[in-house]
Structure 1
């Protein structure tokens, strides 16, 4: 029996409800035991463990290693970093991914750009097998007051997206591009942050070059990239050739690209490092403190505060 993993944002009740709504529709098509819903199926609310965040990461990773396809719910300009990490992991294994979005916005690099993308990182459309996009409300009508009717319109959009995703999965979607590393090749992949502060890449590159590594700096989000979609393909090809990766997590959140890279590296057994993000910590009942989404924190090999620390990681 095939196993389908629903990757979704889960820190608020409405996000968990959305994930459950989609999972329910998939279960109607494939059966309850064929669908895995994080938080629900790890019983996160009641799980007790001295390092609960790490244990949740391990449970999700164990399931990710056994799935046959993924449905990823993505919406808004600020994509969930845990979902993106899970997408990267699935891609690293060549698992088909159906992305669902009901976002009515599309994205481009400049105000006058002819490029319009479903997601704010041009790497994502390349990695997912199929995108289900339902940006409009469902048809109006039905009983109740205007708020009930508006709720019904939104639920119809989600239902349409979930049903289309189930239909795509039933037809065996094309697998995602794999990301197998070339063993022994001394090439390092560098993923800068779209939020700026890019001086670290030059300094890290110097350390890597001094130890015999070549480097590839991701350029798809650079203001000089005239064709970000094509550059995204080049970036992914470079990651597939790299033996280690460095990602910049600094900023208000983990950028989607950094999360994708972390997931792919975890799935393919490659070390991935990051400068310490210097952000506020998050706290949740029963969990140890996290400086980023637990899929990010425990997916990283290590963080470093300065170049000496980074050099020691390389030597170790």
Structure 2
């Protein structure tokens, strides 16, 4: 029996209800045992564990490691970082991913660009197999109450998206572009995801620290040149990650950027160490769960965090020696 994983934002009732609606449609077609719905199927509200957040991460990861396809619900410009992490996890394993969105916006690097993406990070569009997009309201109904009429129009769009999702899963889906295991021998390579909110000097300092340990570095380029087609540079970034033996991603800001979250998931799935600066954000608290400084899929998907470059160096020393101790290593 195939297993379908529904990745969704789950911190508000309406988000959980939307995911349950989609999962219900899937279960009607494929059977309830063929669908895994986080929060629902981990019984998150009632789960009792001394380290509940980590246990939830483990339960979700166990399912992610053996799914046959993923349905990822994505809506709005501020994408859920946990969902993006799960997409990266599935994509790196070659799992087909069906992205479902009712967002009526598209995105581009400048105000006058003809280069448009369905998502605010083109890396997402590169790794998903297919997008189910229902950006418009359903037909107007005959209700006298305008709010009830507007509700019916939105519910029609949601029903259409769920129905198209089920239909798509009954056919053949293109596998996501899987990543090979990390390179252990040969030239050391590192993937660096720069800050989304500025501070390019950080990228230079991190790259210098990595080069001191013999790493050639690739700096993600999707957002650096507005004249370059970001969908093409997204392919280059994913290809570079495939050749990397570790990644350093910047997760600072109000939330983890979608691309950084996706890279964390891909690294967690393929055994690549992935490090990030401490986010410096407010902590989150939930009943029965230990405090988390980020979405728990991000927090526990990381190999380690660092407050400065000295701490990053300590992480590197656990696995690698500086080039001065082992002879020269080519860099680019």
With the shorter chain as reference, the TM-score category is over 0.9
Match of 2:36 in 1: 36
SS at match of 1:118: coil
Q: Is the 8 A contact 2:182 2:271 kept in 1?
A: no
Indicate whether 1:299 and 2:301 are aligned.
yes
Match of 1:125 in 2: 125
Unaligned runs of 5+ in 1: none
Q: Is the 8 A contact 1:181 1:242 kept in 2?
A: no
Q: Is the 8 A contact 2:182 2:272 kept in 1?
A: no
Match of 1:69 in 2: 69
Match of 2:99 in 1: 99
SS at match of 2:231: helix
SS at match of 1:273: strand
User: TM-score under structure 1 normalisation?
Assistant: 0.98
Match of 2:327 in 1: none
Task: Give, in whole Å, the separation in 1 of the partners of 2:116 and 2:307.
Answer: 37
Q: How many residues align structurally?
A: 316
Q: Is the 8 A contact 1:25 1:159 kept in 2?
A: no
SS at match of 1:104: coil
The within-5 A match list for 1:1-316 is: 1-143=1-143, 145-184=145-184, 185-224=187-226, 226-316=228-318
Task: Give, in whole Å, the separation in 2 of the partners of 1:39 and 1:245.
Answer: 29
**1:198 CA displacement:** 2.5
**1:143 CA displacement:** 4.1
**1:180 CA displacement:** 1.4
Task: Give, in whole Å, the separation in 1 of the partners of 2:286 and 2:93.
Answer: 31
SS at match of 1:111: coil
SS at match of 1:249: coil
Q: Is the 8 A contact 1:225 1:231 kept in 2?
A: no
Structure 1 ranges of 4+ moved more than 4 A: none
SS at match of 2:290: coil
Task: Give, in whole Å, the separation in 2 of the partners of 1:200 and 1:193.
Answer: 8
SS at match of 2:252: coil
Task: Give, in whole Å, the separation in 2 of the partners of 1:152 and 1:215.
Answer: 51
Q: Is the 8 A contact 1:77 1:120 kept in 2?
A: yes
Task: Give, in whole Å, the separation in 2 of the partners of 1:214 and 1:13.
Answer: 46
User: TM-score under structure 2 normalisation?
Assistant: 0.93
Structure of higher CA gyration radius: 2
Task: Give, in whole Å, the separation in 2 of the partners of 1:36 and 1:218.
Answer: 33
Alignment RMSD, CA only?
1.1
